[in-house]
Amino acid sequence: METKSNAWKANAKKNVLHLGYWTGSWVTTMAIASFGQIYLWKDNTALTILFIAINTLVGIGMILMNRKYINDLDEMQRKVSLDAMAIALGVGVVGGLSYSMLDQANVIAFDAEIAHLVMLIGITYMIAIFVGNNRYK
């Protein structure tokens, strides 16, 4: 029984590391695609398209690794993760659409930016994971 537990822990650690590598690679390629055209290659559309394509492919790899990570969790961890994702998705859709409508109606003095929505979803997900883990301890 102890060997099975150790093997599961080793696999979980490996999955977390792989997910971290994929996420870090995605963030890096996102930064290169976003800022490369400003600081590295001035207005070279071909390079911009290339790095956006690379970013998209790395993003697909990250999604697949995230799916593998979730599938390899135990039932309680999977429930916490899926609950957190459901809350983050709901906050993202409802909050994002409300935010966009505020911008369209000129209620807010600035433009609604996708980066704000991404931060809202990320923060919501982290809080929901924290609350979910504490609830089941």
Which residue's entry shows tokens 């994929």?
Answer: 22
Q: Chain centroid to CA 122: how far?
A: 7
Mapped onto helix, strand or coil, the DSSP state of residue 92 is: helix
Average predicted confidence (pLDDT) for the chain:
91
* Identity of the amino acid at 135: R
Sign of CA pseudo-dihedral 83, 87, 90, 93: negative
Q: What's the burial of 104, exposed, middle or buried (CB within 10 Å: 0-12/13-18/19+)?
A: exposed
pLDDT of residue 7: 80
pLDDT in tens, 31-44: 999 899 888 888 89
Q: Averaged over 87-115, what is the pLDDT? A: 92
Count Cα atoms within 13 angstroms, Cβ side, for 110. Answer: 4
How far lies 17's CA from each of 13, 25, 68, in Å?
A: 6, 12, 12
Least confident of 5-9, 21-25, 86-90, 130-134: 5-9
pLDDT score recorded for residue 115? 87
Per-residue pLDDT tens digits for 43-52: 899 999 999 9
Q: Does 54 have pLDDT greater than 90?
A: yes
DSSP annotation of 112 reads -
Tell me the three-class secondary structure of 26-77, residue by residue.
HHHHHHHHHHHHHHCCCCCHHHHHHHHHHHHHHHHHHHHHHHHHHHCCCHHH
